[in-house]
Structure 1
Amino acid sequence: MTAGDGLLIVTCGILCAVTYHLLSWSAVSKADVYAAASLLVAIHFSLMVTIQQGYRLTSMTNLRRQCRIVATTWTGVFAALFAIAFAMKVSDEFSRGAILSFYVIGLTTLLVWKTIASRWITLALRQGAFANSRIVVIAEMGLPDSSAAMVELCQHYRVMRTLEVGANLLTSPLLMSRVGPCIDELIVYARKNQVEHVFLLMSWGHQHAIDRVLDALKILPVPVHLVPDANVSRFLSSPLISAGSTWTAELRRAPLSWKERAIKRTLDLVGASFALIIFAPVMLLAAIMVKASSRGPVLFRQTRNGFNGSAFRIFKFRTMRVQEDGPTIVQASKSDPRVTSIGRWLRKTSIDELPQIFNVLLGDMSLVGPRPHAAAHNLEYEQIISQYAFRHHVKPGITGWAQVNGYRGETSALELMEKRVEHDLWYINNWSLPLDLFILLRTIVVTFGRPSAY
C-alpha cells in the first residue's frame, strides 16, 4: 500500500507538471525538478500516514478514517513544503499552476485509490484472503453463530476447529469430566496441524470454567486468548488508561485539556481571521442585499447556550421578517413564509452563518463543534433527550460532525435531533486536530453539494 501511494503521487506530480507546461507554454521544462519534488512529497506523505497507523489492515478497511487521513495529511504536507520552499527562496522554481493542479488531482487520485483499496481489502477479508495463522476456538454453545467477534476471527485467522460447550456445563462442577476428553482431543489436533493460537469465546462471568479450561490447555505451548463478551467489548472500545498496576476504560472523556483547548483556540483564531479576509466581500454584498430587500436590521441576534451552558448572543445575517428570541421560538421550515426571498438563498448557501466568524474571534464559539440551538430549544430537549446537556462540554461551532453527516437544518422529528446529539457526543469523545480539519473540508463539500437548510 505504501508503494502504491508513492507511485501514484510521483506519477501525478510529473504528469501534472508536464501537462500544465505543455498547455501553457507548449514546452516541457524542469521535469527533473518536479520529479524530485514529487518524490519528496511521496516520502513525507507515506511517513505521516505510517505515523498515524494508516497502513494497518484495520485502518485501511475504515474508508472514512482513510479519507480523513489522506485529506489532512496531503494538505499538511503541501503546506509544510510550501512554507519551507518560501523560506529557502526556491518557490520561484515551481509554477503555481502546476503545484495547484498537483494538489487537486493528487488528492482526488489518492481518495479514489483509497476507496478502491478499502473495498477490495474488505472483500478479501470476508473471503479469508489474509487469514494465515491457524487457530482453534473453544466457545460457549451458540456464540460462534451470533458473535460479531467470531466474524472478525474468521477474517484474520484460519479457524481450524471449534469446540462448543453448553452454558449449563460451564456452571457445572462436572465440567472437566464431561469436556476434558474433548479438550484432550483438541490438544492432539492442535499439535498435528500446527495450530498457533487458541481463542476462548465465552461469557466473562464463567470465571471458574475459564480457569479450568486454561489449566487443561497449559500443556499446549501456544497463546490462549480470551475474547471480550458482548457486555464487556462495548466498554473496551473506549480509550484504555493506566492507573498504577491496573487500567480503566475511559467511558466518557472530560472537557478538553488545557493543551487541547490551546490548540483548538489557535486553529479558531487563525482560521477565523483567514475566513474573515476571504469572505469579507461576500459578507459586504450579503449585508447590502439584506438591507435592500426588506425592512429591519442587517444582523440577527439571538440568545444561545455555549460552553458549560453559558449564554451568549449569536450573530447571523437576518433571513426572516421576524426577530424571535425568548421562551417561544419556531424553527424555520420548507417554504416558511417568514423567510425573505434573499434570506432563503442565504440560508441554502449558509452565507447567513458567516457573521458567526465574529463569535469565534470573541471566544463564544469555535469553528467546529456542536451547533448551538436557541435557549428555548435547549430547555425543551434537555427534558426529553437524556444526554443532550453533554453537548455543552465544548464550545459550540459554526459547523460540526453532525452537520457534515447530513443532520443539518430543520429537525422536524425527535429522532433527527437524537441522531444529531449522538454525532455531537461522538465528536466530543473523539476530538482531535485532524478531525477538526477534516470536518472543515467536508463542510465545503456538504454545504454546496447537499444543501438542506431552509
Structure 2
Amino acid sequence: MDGWGTPSLDVSARLDRPLRRDAPLNKLIVCGSVLAGDALALAVAAKAAFWGRFIGENPPLEPYLMTFGGAALLLFLAFRRAGLYRFEVVASWPRWTGRLLAMVGAAAVLLIASLYLMKRGEDVSRVWLLTTFAGTAALMLLQRGLLALFVARRVQRGTFTRSVAVVGAGVQGRQFLEHLQTQGTLWKRVVGVFDDRRTRLEAARGTPFRGDLGVLEDDVRAGRIDEVIITLPWSARSRIVAIVNRLRDLPVDIYLGSDLIAYALPAHQPGLIAGVPTFHMVRVPLSGLRLAIKWFEDKVLAFLLLMLVSPVLLAIAVAIRIDSPGPILFRQKRYGFNNGPITVLKFRSMRHEGKGARFRQATRDDDRVTRIGRFLRQSSLDELPQLLNVLNGSMSLVGPRPHPVELNEQFAALIDGYNGRHRVKPGITGWAQVNGFRGETDTIEKMQARIEHDVWYIENWSLWLDLRILLMTVAKGLVHPHAY
C-alpha cells in the first residue's frame, strides 16, 4: 500500500503497454450478453414451467404468449431503470443480488395486477406464472455470477481496463483514490498523479507521481491514458477551467470531481465513478458501438469502392507514367488520429522534385502541377489511393482532412482548439470539404472556418451524416472551383 491507500503500481511497466482502445466496445459486448442471457433465462424458465404444469394437457397458448411478452417488457424496463445492465454492476456481482430479486418481484406483482385488472387472471395458471418468475430469477443469478467470474479474469489481463490519470495531488486526490480502492474497482487502474504545483506533493508521498500537465499530454498522445479525473477543490475554479480547456482537444474522457465548477462548463454529464459524484466534461467522440459502426463502414465501403474504381486507378497510373517522370504515387507525412504520424497516399499530380524538397502549399495556377495532375486535382481523383489508407486503418472515408505537417504545426499555434480535429481519424472527404472549405488556406479565417466545420462533424457524428457527406462528395467533387 502507498500513501494514498491504493495498491502500489508498477507505473513504468504499465505505461509501456499499449492502450486498449477496444475496452468500451468490450464492455458493450458484456452488457449485451447480459441482456441476451436474461432473455434466454426467461424463455427457458417459462418453457420449463409450462411443461411441468401442463403434462398431458393442451391449454390455449395465446394468453401465455401475451403474458410472456408482458413479463419480458416489464423485466427489461425494471432492470434498465435499476441500472442492472451497466458494466460496473455486472462486474461487481453479487453485490447487486438484492436489487435484482427486488426488480423480479416488482415485475411479477405488476404483471399479476395487470392480468387482474384486464380480467385475464383466470386464463393464466398462477402456478406457471410464479414458477416462471422464480426460475427466471435463479437462472439470471447463475448467468450473471458466471459472467462476473469471466469479467474478473479478463480484467486481470487488461481486457476491460481503463487507465486513469488523476490531476491534483491534494486532499481531494487522496480521498478519491482511497475511495476507489475501497470500492474494489479493478477495471480502473490509476497510472499516476499529475500536478503543475510541486508544492502540493507533500500530500502525495509514496504515490506514483508522473509530472505536470505537459507530461500528462504526452502520455495521452502516446496512448497510455483513457480517462482523466480532475480532483481539485471547488475554490480552484479558474484553474479547473484552464485544465479542461487545455485537455479537451485530446482523445481522452475528462471527469470533474467537483460540482460547483460545472456551471462554468455547461457541456457536462453528471455520473458516478466508484460511488464518487463526478461530472463527465469531455467525451471521446467515437467509442463503443459508434466506433464499431464507423470501422465497419470504412472497411466495407472502402473495399467495395476500391474494386469498383480499380480500372480507373490503372488508367490514371498509366497516364501519370506517360505524362512526366517520377513515381506514380506521392507519399506525404501528415498527422492522423491523436496527432500520430501517418503516410498519406495520393496520385502524383506535380513534378517530382526528389527528397528534401521544401513544402509549399498548392496555389491556383501552380507551375509545379502537371497536365494530367491538373485534371486529377480538379476532379479529386488524386485522392483515390487513400482508399488503401482506409483499409490499413490510418484513415477513414469521412473525417477531417489531414494537413501537411508544416501546415498543421503552423495553424495549431495560431488557432485555439485546432488539435481537436485529431480526436478522430482523418478522412478522404469531410464536412468542411463538401461545404466549400477546401483548396488553399491562405488566411487564418479560411482555416478557422474549416476547423469549425471539422469540430462540428466530430461532435455530431452519425452513420447517416457520413453517408450524406459521401453523396455530397460525389455530387460536388468533379465541379468544385477551389480544387486546384
| Alignment TM-score, normalising by the size of structure 1 | 0.45
Structure with greater contact order relative to length (CA < 8 Å, sep ≥ 6): 2
| Alignment TM-score, normalising by the size of structure 2 | 0.43
